[in-house]
Amino acid sequence: MAQVGINTIEPTADLEIVADASPMTGKYNGIIIPKVDALPVTGDATFPTAAQAGLLVYLNPSATPDGTEGIYMFDGSQYIKLEPASASGAFYDNGTTNFATTTTSNVQRTGKVSVGSSLSTGKFNVDVVSANNSADPIAIKVENNNTGTGSVNTYSAYLENKSTVGGTGIKYGIRSEVSSAGNSDRVGIYNNVISSGSAARGVIGINNVVGGTSGTTAINIGIRSEIGTPASDANSFGIYSIARGNDLRNNYSGWFQGDKFAIKNEDNSDGYEMPTISGNAGQVLMTNGTDVAAWTDLPAANSSPVFYGEGTLNSATNTTDAIERSGSILLNMDANVSPTVLSLNNSNPGTGSGNRFTIDAINNASASGSKYGIRNRVSADGAGSHFGIDNDVQISAADQVNYGIRNNMGVTVGAASTNYGIYTEAGNSGGEGTIYSIYSLAQNNGSEPAYSGYFRGDRFAIKNEDDSDGYEMPTISGTAGQVLTTDGAGVATWKGGFVSSRNILSANQILGSADTWIKLNMNNSVINAGNGYNSTTNRFESSEAGIFKVNAQFHSTNSYGNDIFTGISIFVNGVIYAEHSVNHHNNGQLYRNVTATVDLPANGFIEIFARSSDSNFEIDGSGVKTYFEVQRLF
């Protein structure tokens, strides 16, 4: 038993190799262990046994493109790759400095964590940087799938801000910012709470508790909503609330409790406080002109005039006085009194030519809301007929223009808005009975026209109930014989109309060539309704597309035996469309006839051709025997 030394005569181990301080060119210090292209596997004759534990080999890179090359040691049962020492763990077991090694460990980290990119503004940063268009990109998704049934609270997220920031710093529970990038709708917070269906358990969409305000003189706000700017060009709602339910329960779109309730204008320069008590029966809400409205008793009789004499501050005392009032007037009908709330009668006896008005109303309001000349609402109560406007105009003089309703709506030039002279909606999708949105009856003695409708404009449309289909009617009269045709895409126009043509030869015609299609010179129009036949080009022409029935025939002037072949054909736009060609049998004169239905495009044409095996074949010019007929079907 001996120790081996290389470059030394005094080895201090079983094998000691001393490096050469100055190796020759091409010589290197170190040991090259055996290189293999594949590791032996269990069952191979070359697979080591336990006696070879500690055996080393090098797996060649060229044989392992997957990156598994390197030094392997046999531990007595398997090969183990020798790897560099691993870096320190990213997470510790909670409360220790030991690296977390299992997926079930409770872990902690004192540094910042970024997922998705290198964001570092927060302790925990998530950045979605993908360009996914097939699914919703979600930065953080939290699901609490606790299946316990105990009486405990469960949270998808529980956030506590226990920082001790001072001065003008602000503590936020949740701060959400949605950028302006993209062109979709924006939602700052989307909250969807689904009822359990239990009658004993309620549902709260947002439960906001701002506690501990005692001792502070600052402004405290439970919910603060601010939307838009003075330059915003859209409908804006600071709070938009809808409460739905059946009639068995109260459905409040808003419920406010407090000792103050205020309504203010946009810049908080004006408005008023509403009362928070119910007041007494009969009281009215009255403003004091300095930001407060309160329930107030109506003034006692004769305490102050309700109406003044026109142009004065004197109380009107006579029923014949011309009166005025600058405030609003509310008229209300009591029970068991006249069924008419307001009755107006203009019996001015003057005979001048000036206008007379029963009601002359002018709305000069400059507010940006909707403006109404007359707004009329009739409730659904009562079993009698309901009329929005009942207008009865009696006519006593001739040679006048009389209007039941005359509506003159001026439209501002350059205002690209939708404008309606009259807009009416009748019924709804659940309504029953016959519905007429407009019902018109015009009657007279027949001496003059009685129009139930007269419409002028560059468009006239007929549409179905939900405006998903229909068509525009033409507003021009078209030409005689045209028919109304739809293009199937919402427009109806005058097309074609009645067309009928019968055309004959003006003389006999010799074909002049054998076995060749020769056009028949039908240059004599017997019938040409619609002017479709061109006797100069000897063909039928149509400027509009349509379906046409074509019938043509020729008759020979001479008799023939069994040795001749003849035919007649219809050409459409210069291409043969239909033909009738056969050999002649027996002796005598012959004729050929062809009929077809042609789908002719706009500016298309139809011609009749004949052929014969005899170049001297002569066609009879009699209009009874030889003719070309066209009739429009559609």
> Which of 152-161, 261-270, 534-543 is modeled with the greatest confidence?
534-543
Kindly tell me if the per-residue pLDDT of 389 is higher than 60.
yes
Compute how many other C-beta atoms are within 10 angstroms of the C-beta atom of residue 590: 20
Same domain, 514 and 568: yes
- Domain holding 505, by residue range, is 496-632
Same domain, 461 and 489: yes
Mean pLDDT of 568-576: 98
Residue 367 forms part of a structural domain: no
3-state helix, strand and coil shares in percent for the chain, rounded to the nearest 5: 0, 25, 75
CB 53 within 8 A of CB 72: no
Residue 241 token pair? 């609330």
Name the H helices within 202-272: none
pLDDT in tens, 125-136: 777 777 777 777
CB 369 within 8 A of CB 376: no
Residue 376 forms part of a structural domain: no
Give the chain's domain count. 2
The residue with greater pLDDT, 132 or 145, is 145
Same domain, 483 and 603: no
Q: What is the pLDDT of residue 616?
A: 96
Kindly tell me if the per-residue pLDDT of 302 is higher than 80.
no
- Final residue before a domain boundary, out of 428, 462, 493: 493
- Final residue before a domain boundary, out of 461, 493, 525: 493
CB 316 within 8 A of CB 308: yes
Is the entire prediction scored with pTM above 0.75?
A: no
Residue 578 forms part of a structural domain: yes
pLDDT in tens, 103-126: 777 877 777 777 777 766 777 777
Same domain, 561 and 611: yes
Q: What is the pLDDT of residue 526?
A: 94
The residue whose two tokens read 């529980």 is 158
Residue 384 forms part of a structural domain: no
Q: What is the CATH number of the domain that holds 560?
A: 2.60.120.40
Residue 600 forms part of a structural domain: yes
Same domain, 588 and 478: no
The residue with greater pLDDT, 318 or 562, is 562
Query: How far is 476 from 328, CA to CA, in rounded Å?
Result: 51
Kindly tell me if the per-residue pLDDT of 64 is higher than 90.
no
Same domain, 474 and 595: no
**Strands 604-612 and 565-572, sheet pairing:** antiparallel
Same domain, 550 and 473: no
- Final residue before a domain boundary, out of 440, 462, 493: 493
Same domain, 488 and 587: no
Residue 293 forms part of a structural domain: no
pLDDT in tens, 410-445: 766 666 678 777 888 887 878 788 888 888 888 888
Kindly tell me if the per-residue pLDDT of 580 is higher than 90.
yes
Q: What is the pLDDT of residue 608?
A: 98
Query: How far is 102 from 89, CA to CA, in rounded Å?
Result: 12
Query: How far is 259 from 271, CA to CA, in rounded Å?
Result: 17
Mean pLDDT of 59-65: 78
Q: What is the pLDDT of residue 556?
A: 96
Residue among 437, 365, 444 nearest 398 (CA): 444
Residue 217 token pair? 């003189």
Residue 567 forms part of a structural domain: yes
Same domain, 545 and 618: yes
Residue 595 forms part of a structural domain: yes
**Which residue spans within 328-480 are E strands per DSSP?**
460-463, 470-473
Q: What is the pLDDT of residue 577?
A: 98
Same domain, 457 and 500: no
Mean pLDDT of 438-453: 87
